[in-house]
Amino acid sequence: MKVSTYATLRDALRPAGVPLAWRQLTARRLRFSAAVAGISFASVMMLMQLGFHDALYDSVILLHQAFTGELVLISPQYDSLGDARTFTRHRLNQARAVTGVDQARPLYIGMAPWKNPETRHDRTIFVIGVDAAAPPLRLPELTQFRSILQRPDEILFDAASRLEFGDVAARLHAGESVATEVNGFRVRVAGLFQLGTSFAADGNVLMGEPAFHRLFPQLSPSLVSLAVLELTPGADARHVQAALRERLPADVTVLTRSELMEREVDYWARRTPIGFVISAGMIIGFIVGSVIVYQILYTDLSDHLREYAVLKATGCSDGFLNGIVVQQSVVLAVAGFIPAAVVSWGVFYATRVATSLPAYLDWKKSAIVLSLTLAMCCVSGLLALRVLRQADPADVF
């Protein structure tokens, strides 16, 4: 009789094939909408923080990814590309003498005020200097504009730079001549290249050694910021790296390109406020969402405590009742994540347009945040179940 009563009641709780969890959540549409909005807010926070996390770390290694070689020489005081320091150019000649090294190409890094050619306002821009005859970067524009990069008053402008530097790309495409000042020196923008902005640089310019040394007269031509080493075919990068470390003095550090990229990412993650803020945002989003879901489910369970007591009295197992709450948690998670994904996609698109940062919503970020949202809702639901486990039908009535 008990089993029959339980089966009849269970069937009655699912009219027209609609689960009890869904009917219970949507019985009060305003409360359900508020719960979905709260979970969406938390999911948007997590998606945005994860998106900015990836955009930060992807953007700060854009230049590293363009290196032509697998090994890099840097100063031991190197912190990041924006603070690379310098070492003597003589170390490049010493590196070339090591078996396995084919080329050692210098790279010069600087930051300088750029005068917007339209507004005449100054804004700091990232300056990249290369040897036009042996460029250390895989950029097709370096071949196209090789002769230009040998001139001391002509530079290339990154078409992905922010508009605060002026609409240089559009003017060049329209056939106009663009001249401005960098670090107080008159230069002409002779062409465009494509690299991209980062949290460290809103814009970039590329130039040859003559132009770089003209714009930075305080830096000795005998000093370089980095050196990119190309290896001979078949050479093992790790073996060559070990040989270089034995041969070169302690005033340079030899890293693989991947090691330098890891070092750059680690700098932004651990030694700048941006990395901390992004990580904290993820945690806060998870906590906020958990509190919202817990409050919603706890209130719902409390409001329907009599009904749950009846179910327990008629023989429904704790597993069946727990399943209802878990189903509610899953429904809330999915219902909250869908609008969050739509909103985040729009925000990422607006971010790319406004800042040129590589902020995207992809399946990987979606899967991570959906999993976190499901975990957040299920954990909150299981915590809220305490009120149900403590419910005694005799006490309720």
Q: What is the pLDDT of residue 91?
A: 96
Max distance between CA atoms of the chain, in angstroms, equals 96
Q: Which of 3-17, 20-34, 42-56, 339-353 is least confident? A: 3-17
Query: Long-range CB contacts (< 8 A, 24+ apart) of 347-355?
Result: 347/44, 347/48, 348/51, 351/51, 351/55, 354/162, 355/162, 355/197, 355/202
pLDDT attached to residue 387: 65
Q: How far is CA 246 from the centre of its chain?
A: 37
Query: Would you list the domain boundaries of the chain?
Result: 2-59+273-396, 76-251
Q: Give the residue from 224, 275, 238 showing the smallest Cα distance to 78.
A: 224
Of the candidates 164, 171, 179, the one whose C-alpha atom is nearest the C-alpha of residue 122 is 164
Q: What is the token pair recorded at 49?
A: 């923080």
- For residue 262, the tally of other CB atoms under 10 A from its CB is 14
Quickly tell me which residue has 């230069």 as its tokens: 187
What per-residue confidence (pLDDT) applies to 322? Answer: 75
Task: Assess whether pLDDT exceeds 60 at residue 392.
Answer: no
Q: Coil, helix or strand for 356?
A: coil
- pLDDT tens digits, 262-302: 999 999 888 888 778 877 877 887 888 778 777 777 777 77
The residue with greater pLDDT, 329 or 126, is: 126
Rounded Cα distance, 202 and 123, in Å: 9
Q: Could you give the CA distance from residue 328 to residue 322 in angstroms, rounded to a whole number?
A: 10
- pLDDT 10s digits, 85-94: 999 999 999 9
Kindly report, residue by residue over 11-32, the tens digit of the pLDDT: 545 544 457 777 777 777 887 8
Helix (H) or strand (E) holding 115: strand 101-115
**Full 3-state SS string of 271-331:** CCHHHHHHHHHHHHHHHHHHHHHHHHHHHHHHHCHHHHHHHHHCCCCHHHHHHHHHHHHHH
- Per-residue pLDDT reduced to its tens digit, 210-249: 999 999 999 899 999 999 999 999 999 999 999 999 999 9
What residues contact residue 39 under an 8 Å CB cut-off, 6+ apart?
A: 289, 292, 293, 332, 333, 335, 336, 337, 340, 373, 376, 377
Burial class (CB in 10 A: 0-12, 13-18, 19+), 191: middle
Site of tokens 């806060």? 284
Is pLDDT of 370 > 70?
A: yes
Q: What is the pLDDT of residue 4?
A: 46
pLDDT digits (tens, 9 = 90+) for 316-345: 776 777 777 788 888 888 988 999 999 999
The whole-angstrom separation of Cα 46 and Cα 395 is 42
**Which of left, alpha, beta for 181 (phi over 0: left; psi -120 to 50: alpha)?**
beta
Instruction: Please report which confidence band the pLDDT of residue 64 belongs to, taking 50, 70 and 90 as the band edges.
Output: very high
Q: What is the DSSP letter of 87?
A: E
CA distance 258 to 71: 9
**Entry pTM:** 0.78
Tell me what pLDDT residue 5 has: 46
Residues 98, 104 contacting (CB under 8 angstroms): no
